Amino acid sequence: MLRRLVINNIALIEKAEIEFGEGLNILTGETGAGKTIIIDSINALTGQRIDREMIRTGQERAYIEALFEVDGEISRAIEEITGTGPEADRVLIISREFLSNGRNTCRINGRLVPLSAIKLAGEMLIDMHGQHDNQSLMRPGTHVLFLDGFGGKRLNESKEAYKSLYGEYRKIRAKLEDIKQNSRERARREELYRFQSEEINRASPAEGEEEMLKEKRSAIVNAEKIAEALAAAYEMLRGEGRQTESALELVEKSAAALKETAQFHKKSEELAAKLEDIFYQLQEIAVDVREAADYTDYDRESLEMVEDRLELIQSLKKKYGDTVGEIMDYYTRICNELDELQSDSSNIKALEAEYEETGEKLKSAADILTQIRSETASVLSNNIVAELEELEMKKASFSVSVTDIGEYGPDGADKIEFLISPNPGEPLKPLLKIASGGEMSRIMLALKTILAEADRIPVLVFDEIDAGIGGNTAVRVAEKLSMISGTHQVICVTHLPQIACMADRHILISKSSSDDGMTRTQVKALGPEQSLEQLAVMLGGKETGGAAYAHAAELRKNALAYIENTRNK
């Protein structure tokens, strides 16, 4: 329910904080006092547009805030849809700030959200209805929601079964259309992936191969320098072709010299043994150096092969990845894509068969849904006629038309439309075309009375639902509003004392001019005595007198008796 509404700098309202209660909240006041501003402010918190001209004259910003208490189910739904939800105590605060430059900021519990988020939240919290704003009844496309809301468990289960099949049906159709309509694009992709996979497969680059090839290229290019270095090393080790003694000869002589004193000096013996080990190691190294020199040669053909291979790897890197690892990852990915494309092409017949089978199931589910809706529509029509009779539309005929149009949509294959004949002898026609504002309000009230138990939206707002009615009709409308307020919080703007007397909470909207020349709207919750005085004013104008007050007291007494009898049953 809506607990508190804060309005700052909207039109005539400089600052107002309105506390709403459970049951029926009645807003009264003279024409132009500012009741519409409050309704527009509530509308703004359901995502509706507010013109910048609504910002109070001389102000740069305006602010609207609403505090709701929500139950667990709505709490979860809002959090799922908007990404943010009520606090632990199930308090939800929605606010909008408007700037004179046209910008506005939306928040849910202090968190910035897009306008679409508070619109979605608002649709789950508040249902707005007014003389010129019966959105739901004005759009035939929403009539199905009223009918299905009345249908109960059997209809809802049938609808869920249909929706499940409809989702599957659309998914298969989309896949088939994708395969067929994009066959040229799919063929192009298949040809491209096949070429790329074959190119990478032929090359078969290996991890570390590029580094090894670069090293080999460097060795081939520098073969002459390497050969010279190896020859010089071998010559110094072996001494062949040298006039001076080689490293091997010097080590051998050093070892022999130390051996001559080994019997006298133990350390000399140890050093001689180490030199002998070095001598044998040097011999092995010399052999390795000679062999390396024998196999070191500049081979142009080998160099070209290495260069070609490096160029191929570089070409693959430019196309498919910065490293050989990335190239092979891409290869795996396009191979999988290629398999899927080929699989899709080969599965068209299987998909077509599945599509046809699902279509038959969908038709059967749609037919069952149509049948249940037709049965439900008959009951709903009779109930609405009964409610309209109580709302002083005794001559009206009403029908909920269910037509199977054979086109599958999210809600079935049916066109649901409300038809009415306000006067005897006139044919039933679409509600939108012939119902007056007062009739539309009463039809909505009849629907809300019937659907009160099924309707999960907690707050109902009726803006001047009393337009075009009076007398006994007004009493009946008041009774219906009171009845609905037993299961919903109702906020109602009215000019009729017959409706105002049913209030669980009576709020007076008035305006006054101050010394600074500015006009301001005031909002005041009335106590029992003040409410009676206001009812008297509504009955007798400025001259309330004793008779007007007595009449007001009688209205209130009867209203309390009605409330007691209906809500305690």
- Using the structure block, give the residue that is written with the tokens 């999988």: 336
Residue 372's pLDDT is 96
Residues 143-166: tens digit of each pLDDT: 888 898 888 889 999 999 999 999
- For residue 345, what pLDDT band results from cuts at 50, 70 and 90? low
What superfamily does domain 1-131+464-569 belong to in CATH? Answer: P-loop containing nucleotide triphosphate hydrolases (3.40.50.300)
Residue 211, judged by CB atoms within 10 A of its CB (0-12, 13-18, 19+), counts as exposed
Long-range own/partner contacts, residues 506-509 (CB < 8 A, 24 or more apart): 506/26, 506/28, 506/530, 506/531, 506/534, 507/18, 507/25, 507/26, 507/27, 507/28, 508/28, 508/29, 508/534, 509/27, 509/28, 509/29, 509/33, 509/34, 509/35, 509/38
pLDDT tens by residue, 206-253: 888 888 888 777 777 666 676 666 667 766 767 665 556 777 777 777
Q: Which residues of 20-57 are buried (b: 16+ CB within 10 A; e: fewer)?
A: beebbbbbbbeeebbbbbbbbbbbbbbbeebeeebbbe
Average pLDDT estimate for 289-316? 75
Which sequence spans correspond to the domains of the chain?
1-131+464-569, 202-341
- Which tens digit of pLDDT belongs to each residue from 62-109? 999 999 988 777 777 777 766 766 666 688 899 999 998 888 899 988
80 membership: H or E segment, kind and range: helix 72-82
Q: Is 507 helix (H, G, I), strand (E, B) or coil?
A: strand
Q: Is the pLDDT of residue 568 over 70?
A: no
How does DSSP assign 312-371, residue by residue? HHHHHHHHH-SSHHHHHHHHHHHHHHHHHHHHHHHTHHHHHHHHHHHHHHHHHHHHHHHH
| pLDDT, the chain, mean | 83
Q: What is the mean pLDDT of residues 479-503?
A: 91
Q: Is the pLDDT of residue 296 over 70?
A: no
* pLDDT of 303: 74
State how far the alpha carbon of 478 is from the alpha carbons of 382, 435, 522, 560, in Å: 22, 21, 25, 12
Could you tell me which of 478, 454, 559 has the C-alpha nearest to residue 127? 454
The pLDDT value recorded for residue 438 is 65
Q: What is the dihedral of CA 18, 21, 23, 24, to 10 degrees?
A: -30
